[in-house]
Chains A and B, each alone.
Chain A
Amino acid sequence: MTELEAGRAQALVPVRSGAALHRYRDVLIALIAFAVLASLPFFTGSKALLDFVIRCSAYGLFATSLNLLVGYTGLTSFGHGMFFGLGAYSFGLIMQKLGLSIPVAFVATLAVTAVIAAVIGAICVRLKDIYFAFVTLAFQMLIHSTILSWASFTGGDQGLRGGIPRPEFLGINLANHVHLYIASCALLILGLLAMRQIAQSPFGYTLRMIRDNAARASFLGIDVWRAKLTVFVLAALFAAMGGMVMALFVSGAYPEFAYWTISGEGIFINMLGGVSTFLGPMVGTVLLLLLNDTVTRFTEYHGIVLGVVILFFALGLRKGLLDFVAEWFSQRRDAGEGR
């Protein structure tokens, strides 16, 4: 063994065990987070608080999945909300028309989303930057108009009404509020954990490389188109999960779920929380929902208040909240080490 190879072997070992350690740490954090969330109903009877967490789960899954595209791969999708709407509608329709059990409908919805996302993605990811943004937006609006005009199937502008049946499975009754709450939390935590694994996997680092320099990644033998398509479909699946949580929560699906403003809110949430950290979008979700709820309570002109807050983030901080905090910490640490 030459000196160089020896050095490399030494360098590799700690990285690998470090990765495993990080994975256990992530799982541990996820378990603790789930335990805290799941024990919430025992401490408080507040239905409003539980509702808030359920909404956070739906939007959080959606926003974090968007960050896989925006933050990790550099694909600014303006139409990611279509998969949120698609998830809500296909889940609702499958439950209403076919009467399957919830887990089966859940998997079936994911399958439907994967197929549609693969078709749309195959067309979209060839395009770059602003053109990618526009063509995803166009697809989103296409789906939205289809939902509006196919009234006999989707209920048109009235949305999918009549409630979504929620038959009991494995002793879980989602018509029960607490059961629904715990199921939403479980889906959120599982979804986040899965996305974290994707982000930290070699595939996740491939995505970062594509974001930073796609030409170089392609020279290194990476099929950029395929990697982008893969992450497009994966992100769509998690967005659909968010949509399903939403559909279960409101027991229906509405055209607004597929409207472009959902995508706009997703982007906004990402900017609010920060795209450079994994949990940034989650922080952004909580911030936006809190902001929406409090501001609408105090003034009917919530657009002005929300706008000023956005301006503060965009022109004042120039980054998301968690980005800001993370940078502040690393600066403090560097200062402490005398760097």
Chain B
Amino acid sequence: MDLDALTGCLSSSACLVTQTTSGLIIGMLLFLVAVGLTLIFGVLKIVNFSHGAFYMFGAYFAMTAYHLTESFALAMLAGAAGTAILGLIFERVFMSRVYGADVLMQLLVCYAFVLIFDDVVRLIWGPEFKSMGMPAAFQVMPLFIAGGVVPPYYLLLIGVALVAAIVLGIGLSRSRIGKVIRAAAHNPGMVSALGINTGLIYGGVFALGGMLAGLAGALAAPVRSLTPGMGFSVLIESFIVTVIGGMGSIVGALVGALLIGLIRSFGSLGFPLFTEGLMYLFMVIVLVSKPTGLFGKEAA
């Protein structure tokens, strides 16, 4: 424990800014992964245990595309589109077979794919650590805000995630497709009786969730090292986020992700060895006081 470092940081604006931005980017990346998880759970009623793999594939797709084309925009596109297609195939071919089955059976199928996907990545890209490298456009002087250091890429990352959050939120509540998706979450039988292809909606939602995780992976690729199994810790953390925020709630995912991000960045100062423990402790406290999560609806 190092409480002096924590209180010292809290009293200095430079440290406060630096730690807050690093907490925000952890939080925003987690949000993109967690929101897909929560969306898939809300509509398909499936806990997608293999969601971390989409994050991983997003990062690897982006790296390959970037090394081939040297274009950052194309790399992001490859990460997002590649995982969307992967998600669609995965849902239609495999997950659609276990709807209505035991939760354990669904988890088992996902677990199988966690193992398979990790090995596929090892097979294609090799087991060693890879890095994509920071695109030239962002290799500029960091900004100084109130004495704290903020790399411009962090601002882009936070911006993209925020845009995704707003588009998702408005799209789901206002657009026609969003309404159909919410209806399908509520009563799929009725929606299908009204002549809407629910299979398509399920596939679409899964693809969307995969795409968001892939986008998170692609955005993280320049600042993180890539390795098979990298999706795993992200998966566990985004589970914590969705559980804290409430399964199925987008606002909950955002708040939960930011809380976890800040706990991580400030916790690493005060409790360097127990940072993970802090997250789990927080999750236990939330679950015990409000089992459905901060923004979850009471179980129907």
Contacts and interface: CB of A to CB of B under 8 A. Distances in A.
Given A149-B277, A303-B116, A308-B112, A134 B287 contact: yes
Contacts of A130: 47, 103, 247
A141 interface: yes
A304 B115 CA distance: 6
Nearest to A319: B105
A135 interface: yes
A32 interface: no
B107 interface: yes
Most B CB contacts (10 A, CB to CB) among A134, A141, A271 go to: A134
B111 A145 contact: no
Contacts of A148: 273, 276
A145 B47 contact: no
A151 interface: yes
Interface in B239-297: 239-240, 243, 247, 271, 273-274, 276-277, 280-281, 283-284, 287-288, 291-292
A318 interface: yes
A76 B47 CA distance: 14
17 contacts: A76-B103, A126-B291, A130-B247, A137-B239, A138-B280, A139-B284, A142-B280, A142-B281, A267-B107, A267-B108, A268-B108, A302-B119, A306-B115, A310-B109, A311-B109, A315-B97, A318-B101
A97 B60 CA distance: 48
B213 to A, nearest CB: 19
B112 A149 contact: no
Interface string B151-174: 000000000000000000000000
Interface string B84-103: 00000000001001100101
Given A138-B240, A138-B287, A149-B277, 7 more contacts: A126-B291, A134-B287, A141-B277, A146-B274, A149-B274, A310-B112, A311-B94
Contacts of B107: 267
B284 A142 contact: yes
A315 B239 contact: no
A139 B283 CA distance: 9
B42 to A, nearest CB: 13
A70 interface: yes
B123 interface: yes
Interface in A74-127: 76, 123, 126-127
Chain B interface residue bracket vs A: 35 or more
A307 B112 contact: yes
Interface of B: 47, 94, 97-98, 101, 103-105, 107-109, 111-116, 118-120, 122-123, 236, 239-240, 243, 247, 271, 273-274, 276-277, 280-281, 283-284, 287-288, 291-292, 299
Contact of A315 (B98, B118, B283, B292): B98
Q: Shortest 6 CB-CB distances between A and B: which pairs?
A: A145-B277, A307-B116, A149-B273, A303-B119, A310-B112, A303-B115
A308 to B, nearest CB: 7
Interface in A312-329: 313-315, 318
Contacts, number: 110
A212 interface: no
Interface in A181-208: none
Q: What secondary structure prevails in chain A residues at the interface with B?
A: helix
Interface of A: 70, 76, 123, 126-131, 134-135, 137-139, 141-142, 145-146, 148-149, 151, 260, 264, 267-268, 270-271, 301-304, 306-308, 310-311, 313-315, 318
A128 B299 contact: yes
Contacts of B113: 307
B287 A131 contact: yes
B111 A264 contact: yes
A220 to B, nearest CB: 23
Contacts of A127: 287, 291
Nearest to A271: B108
B108 A310 contact: yes
Contacts of B97: 315
A299 to B, nearest CB: 9
B232 to A, nearest CB: 9
B116 A145 contact: no
Contacts of A271: 104-105, 108
